[in-house]
Every structure is written in C-alpha cells, then in structure tokens.
Amino acid sequence: MIVLEFKVKATAEQYQAIDEAIRTTQFIRNKCLRFWMDNKGVGRYDLNKHCRILAQEFSFANELNSMARQSAAERAWSAISRFFDNCKKQIPGKKGYPRFKKNVRSVEYKTTGWKLDRTTCKHIAFTDKKGIGRVKLIGTHDLRFYEDKLIKRVRLVRKADGYYCQFSIAVDNQEEIEPTGKAIGLDMGLKYAYVDNTGRTEPNPRFYRTAEKRLAKLQRRVSKKFCKGQPSSNNYKKARKRLAKLHLKVSRQREEWAKRVARCVIQSADLVAYEDLKVKNMIRNHKLSKSIQDMGWRKLRYWIEYFGVKFGKLTVAVPPHFTTVDCSVCGAKVQKSLSTRTHRCDVCSTEMCRDQNAAVNILQKAIRTAGHAGTWEQSLNAWGDLPSWAVGANLLSNGESIEPRIPRLERTSESCGVSMVN
C-alpha cells in the first residue's frame, strides 16, 4: 500500500465546500461516538448503520457521500477498539478513553464519491452533494500507472499551507536488495542522533532549536493580536497562519530527515538493533524534554521499522537496561554520570566512547534474545493518525505476515562484536 499526495488548486467556493465536508465528517464521527457511549454492546457495524440514520435526520449529513460517512464512523470505532486493546493489555496509566474531536482536518472517500480525469490524471471531481466539484491536482506523481480499482481511498486534507489530496493505492511496496552480511546496533542520544557499534555517528539536526527564535517571535505576534471576548481579527488569523506554517516546516524537516537516515541504516545491514525507549516516560524530565522531542527518536524508530519491512530486513528492539553501564567486552558494571562521555573499564582496561559501548551491548542483546521485531502494528490508530504506508482498505495487511529469516551470527574479535555467517 502506497499513498501519493497532491496539492489541490481550487476556487474559494470549492475550499469552503471542502471545509463543510470536513465539518460533516467531524459531526458524524462525534455522533457515532455518542451513540456508542449511550448504548451498551454497540459494535463496528452498528456504527455504520447509525450513519444512515444520521443522513435521514440531518440534511447536511445526507449531502456527504455514504462511504465518506462510513469512513467517519470507522474513525470513531478505531478510537474505541484502541481503548479496549489498551484495557486488555493492562497498560499502566490512562487507557485512552475515546474523546470527541473538535479540530478534524480531513475527509475520506472510499471507492465512490469521486471520479479521476483519466485524460491527464491531473484533475479529480467529487460527485457528492457537498459541491466540491472538479479540482486540479499539482504534483509530480503519475496516476496513469494505477487503475481506479487499485485506488482504495481518496482523502482531502487541510494543512497550514493549503489543501492536499491523498490517494491510497493497493500495490506491492516490497523491494528486494542484496544482503550485506552485516549487523549493527544503534544507541540513540542527544549529542548525536545515534552512534552505532563501529563508532559511526549521525549528527543531531536540531530542527526545532534552529527555528525556536523565529517561532517565539511569531508566537508573540499571535498573542499581541488576540483579544479575549472579541471576534478574531484578520490580522490575528494571518499571524496564526504564519506560525502554523513554520511549525509545519519543522515537522516536515524532521520527517524527511528520519526517512533518509532510516533508509540508509536499513540498506547498510541485514539486522538492525536499537533500544526500546519509552519516550513518553523520558520526556517527564523537564530539563531534557525539549531536546528529546526535538530529536524525534520515535519518528526515527518508526521509519527504521517501516523500511525493515519494505526491504525484508530484521529490526529488533531490545530493553535499554544497563546498556550504558555494562562493559561490552568483559561484562563488568562501570557506573558513570551523564557528563562522562568515555567508557573506561578497570577490569579489562577497555576504553571507548560510552555510546559506542552501549551500541555494542544493544547488538549483543539482540543476538542473544529474540527481542520484539518492531512495534509499528501498535501505532495503527484512527486513519487520521496512521502512517502513510499503512493507510488503505486493509489497515493491518502491510508487512504483518512477513517473517524475515534470522541470519546466524557468531562472535569475532572485531569492534562490532559480531560478524554475519551465511
């Protein structure tokens, strides 16, 4: 499953129609959630049936395509099923009880409600009664290679810099590459994005830190133009839009950086081991929370697991306990503070970078234990929160049935601690 995204060019009236369709989607989603709260034992198909009742009761809901209404109900059910799964797994803390949405930014059509212009494949017409009509698609992707039956979902998204149209296409996204015969371990950090077991480092881009002064300036402008208890002025809306665009730019920079780095990491080894970090707990440290979130460990790990599935490589997340303290050569525990950047073992006289020592321990843990190969399945939420590669008619189908072959490894005297044996 792949997703191709285009910028939408339309008239002001068509943009208003898209906004109306998005508001209707939000209304149906919240109504379905309320229906589930008020009635015990309501299931997924009951929510789909409730959409028909809403269409009969509200004229503006009837204007939206029937499959688009079902997609809105599916979003509500995704939140409900995630809550039930968290309760069954006994996840500590809050279980994520479904909430009503007040800022939905997208409307999703399935196989009906739209018609692609096959002459140029640069225009699409929406045929429901919302009045969106025919809009132009701006982008470099070529939809001529894909038949209409392969396009499972079409989604209109409102972002800070305009409107976008996304096509979810059911095609095989797997690629085969030559095995490298290598295995690497990654130690995530703040000074460097990661340090592998050979000592190679990836610089920390610090996108948010770079744009922080500009963000603070735009935020002050927004605050100055805000008047409590009065309608929002045009200057306030413009200032808020500038701030949102810069936040979107920082987010895109971090996303593209994570894709590039993860792809290089996966293509350079047959087995990639990394720490199973609980970022949600780590950001409770108020001194490091901003740096941790700016680093984007979760995003980097997510794309490593994605490309691992795409290229048929093995990705293993291991517990991070004692990876920094243990000596990678003799196993002795060497206590060190956060400011100590060098690992020195008094037992075997080993001296190396503390991050490299942790990376070797991570790789050794991955070899000794099976770990758990990725957690991308756990991140499948409502379609509004889904990764682009997991979006489509079958949300759990991409990569779930793949079982990569675990290569046999043996120890050597190399600095990485292991070598691959075919």
Band (pLDDT 50/70/90 cuts) for residue 395 is very low
Q: Based on the fold, state whether residues 318 and 396 are members of the same structural domain.
A: yes
Residue 400 has pLDDT above 80, yes or no: no
Q: Which helix (H) or strand (E) holds 298?
A: helix 297-311
At residue 277, the pLDDT reads 86
Check whether 417 has a pLDDT greater than 50: no
pLDDT tens-digit profile of 321-353?
A: 888 888 888 888 888 888 888 888 888 888 888
255: burial class by Cβ within 10 Å (0-12, 13-18, 19+)?
Answer: middle
Domain boundary among 117, 139, 169: 169
Cα(171)–Cα(389) distance, integer angstroms: 11
Indicate if the pLDDT at residue 253 is higher than 70: yes
Same domain, 139 and 268: no
DSSP-derived letter for residue 405 is -
80 and 221 inside one domain:
no
Long-range CB contacts for residues 250-259, cutoff 8 Å, separation at least 24: 250/207, 250/208, 250/211, 250/215, 253/205, 253/207, 254/205, 254/207, 254/208, 254/296, 254/299, 255/299, 257/205, 257/207, 257/296, 258/296, 258/299, 258/300, 258/302, 258/303, 259/303
- Kindly tell me the sign of the dihedral angle through the C-alpha atoms of 49, 51, 54, 56: negative
Domain residues for the domain of 14 are: 2-169
Sequence-distant (6+) residues with CB within 8 A of 17 are 130, 131, 132, 133
Identify which of 309, 407, 310 has the alpha carbon closest to the alpha carbon of residue 363: 407
Strand 123-126 relative to strand 351-353, pairing? unpaired
pLDDT in the model for residue 406: 32
Side-chain-side CA neighbours of 231 within 13 Å: the count stands at 2
Does 133 or 394 have the greater pLDDT score? 133
Percent of the chain exceeding pLDDT 90 equals 48
Tell whether 97 and 61 lie within a shared domain.
yes
Higher pLDDT, 2 or 22: 22
Is 418's pLDDT higher than 90?
no
Asked whether residue 245 is assigned to any structural domain, the reply reads yes
Of 32, 23, 115, the closest CA to residue 70 belongs to: 32
Q: What is the pLDDT of residue 337?
A: 83
Q: Do residues 41 and 84 make contact, with C-beta atoms less than 8 angstroms apart? A: no
Is residue 387's pLDDT more than 50? no
Q: Indicate the range of 36-40, 265-269, 397-401 predicted with least confidence.
A: 397-401
Is pLDDT of 229 > 80? no
Quote the pLDDT of residue 321: 87
Structure token pair of residue 250: 């920082």
Answer yes or no: is pLDDT of 396 > 70.
Answer: no
User: What residues does 162 pair with on adjacent strands?
Assistant: 159
Contact 399, 309 (CB under 8 A): yes
pLDDT at 421 over 60: no
Res 322: pLDDT: 86
- Shared domain for 327 and 198, answered yes or no, is yes
Are both 309 and 282 inside the same structural domain?
A: yes
pLDDT, one tens digit per residue, over 56-97 is 999 999 999 999 999 999 999 999 999 999 999 888 888 889
pLDDT band at 407 (very low <50, low <70, confident <90, very high): very low
**Would residue 57 count as lying in a domain?**
yes
The string over 191-202, giving b where at least 16 C-beta atoms fall within 10 Å of a residue's C-beta and e elsewhere, is ebbbbbbeeebb
Cβ pair 173, 310 in contact under 8 A:
yes
Last residue of a domain, one of 169, 201, 236: 169
Count of domains observed in the chain: 2
Structure tokens at 280: 């949600």
- Are residue 192 and residue 138 in the same domain, yes or no? no
Is the pLDDT confidence value at 393 over 50? no
In terms of Cα–Cα distance, which of 312, 278, 308 is closest to 376? 308
Which pLDDT does position 119 carry in this prediction? 87
Domain match, 411 and 278 both: yes
353 shares a domain with 416: yes
Q: Tell whether 177 is covered by a domain.
A: no
Q: What is the pLDDT of residue 392?
A: 43
Residue 175 inside a domain? The answer is no
For the cut 60, the answer to whether the pLDDT of residue 382 exceeds it is no
Q: Assess whether 199 and 158 both reside in one domain.
A: no
Would you state the pLDDT for residue 333? 85
Buried b / exposed e along 121-143 (16+ C-beta atoms within 10 A): beebebebebebeebebeeeeeb
Specify whether 203 is located in the same domain as 293. yes
Dump pLDDT digits (tens) for 273-315.
999 888 888 888 888 899 989 898 889 999 999 999 889 888 8
Top-confidence residue, 85 or 174 = 85
174, part of any domain: no
Characterize 380-417 residue by residue with b for buried, 16 or more Cβ atoms within 10 angstroms of its Cβ, and e for exposed: bbbbbebbebbbbeebeebbeeeebeeeebeeeeeebb
DSSP 188-201: E-SSEEEEETTS-E
Q: What is the pLDDT of residue 174?
A: 84
- Pick from 272, 307, 267: which is nearest to 183 by CA? 272
In the chain, what percentage of residues exceed pLDDT 70? Answer: 87
| Helix 234-267, helix 297-311: angle, nearest 10 | 50
From 169, 194, 227, give the residue that closes a domain: 169
Q: Which is more confident, 175 or 252?
A: 252
Q: Spell out the residues 6+ positions from residue 15 whose beta carbon is closer than 8 angstroms to its own.
A: 163
Q: To the nearest whole number, what is the mean pLDDT of the chain?
A: 84
176 in a structural domain: no
Residue at 16 is within a domain: yes
Are 158 and 193 members of one domain? no
Q: How far apart are CA 368 and CA 353, in angstroms?
A: 23
* Residue 18, domain member (yes or no): yes
